[in-house]
Amino acid sequence: MARIVVLTGAGISAESGIRTFRAADGLWEDHRIEDVATPEGYAADPALVHAFYDERRRAARAAQPNAAHRALAELDERMPGEVLIVTQNIDDLHERAGSSRVIHIHGELGSARCEECGRRMSWTRDLAGRPACPACGARALRPDVVWFGEAVYALDEIFGAVAQSEQFWVIGTSGAVTPAASLVALAAEAGARTALLNLEAHDDVRLFDEVVLGPATTTVPAFTSRIRETPRAPRDPGAAPPSRGATGVSR
C-alpha cells in the first residue's frame, strides 16, 4: 500500500498545453459530452468520436511532462513504493515524467480496446481508419477510455489504497466527476491528511486539511519538497483519526 495517494486531473497537464474540460476554453465548450464521451454518441457517429480522440492522442504525444509531473516523479524516486498516482487523465505525462505507479481511472489514449474480442492493447496510431484488431482481426477497435455511464477502472484497488493512505492529495481537478471526486471523503474518513492543490478553490474545500491555490508547476514542486522520508507511524487501529486540521489556504 502507498503512504501517499495523489489524485490528479486535467489541471496538472494544462501547463503542458493539454486542454482541460470545464474552463472557458475547455474541451466541453467545443464538444457535447453526449456526442463524444458516451457509448451512445460512439454508436451514433463513430467517425466523430475517433476524430476527437485521435486529435487528443496526437496532442498528448506532442506534449511534454511539466514541473508538476516531474516533482511527483522525483518524490516517487525518493520514497520508493510509497507514492501512488490515481489520474483521471488519459495522457501519459505522469509515466513519461518517471512516475512508477500510475492508475488511469478513466482509461488511456495510449490504449485501444476491441469490442469484438475484448482485448485491451497498447495503441499509438489513429483509430479513424478502423484498423483491424491485432488479436482477432475485427475492425472493432475503440479508444480504451471510460465514457460517461461506463464503469471506471481499478476502483477496488483505488478504494483500498485511499483507505490505507496517510496522505491524500488532489491536484488539478474540478471535482466534478464521481467516483474520483468522492475519494477525498474516503481519505478523510480513514484519517489521512488531505490537501488540495488547484488553480481555484473547490466547493468541497472544507474536506481538505490544506488548500494551496496556484498553477501546478509552481505549487506541486514546492509542496513535494516539504515531504521528507519520515518513519512510518505505527497505525493504531483503535486510535481515533487525527482531528481535522483547520483548512489553511495558502497562496
Chain residues binding ligand APR by CB under 6 A are 9-11, 14-15, 20-23, 26, 88, 106, 172-174, 176-177, 198-200, 215-216
Q: Which is nearer to ligand APR, 23 or 163 (CB)?
A: 23
Q: DSSP characters for 193-232? A: EEEEEESS--TTGGG-SEEEES-HHHHHHHHHHT----PP
Quick one: which of 203, 194, 200 has its CA closest to 248? Answer: 194
Shortest distance (Å) from residue 227 CB to ligand APR: 18
Q: Which is nearer to ligand APR, 133 or 183 (CB)?
A: 183
Pairing between β-strand 102-104 and β-strand 107-114 as defined by DSSP bridges: unpaired
Q: Which is nearer to ligand APR, 9 or 41 (CB)?
A: 9
Which three three-digit cell numbers place residue 150? 461506463
Shortest distance (Å) from residue 216 CB to ligand APR: 4
Q: Which is nearer to ligand APR, 164 or 182 (CB)?
A: 182
Helix (H, G, I), strand (E, B) or coil at 91: coil
| Residues carrying an active site annotation | 106
Shortest distance (Å) from residue 74 CB to ligand APR: 18
Q: Which is nearer to ligand APR, 136 or 148 (CB)?
A: 148
Quick one: which of 121, 120, 140 has its CA closest to 130? Answer: 140
Shortest distance (Å) from residue 86 CB to ligand APR: 11
Residue least distant from ligand APR (Cβ): 11
Query: How far is the C-alpha of 85 from the C-alpha of 210, rounded, in Å?
Result: 19
Shortest distance (Å) from residue 21 CB to ligand APR: 3
* Residue length of the chain: 251
Pairing between β-strand 193-198 and β-strand 141-145 as defined by DSSP bridges: unpaired
Question: What phi, psi does 85 have (nearest 5°)?
Answer: -100, 125
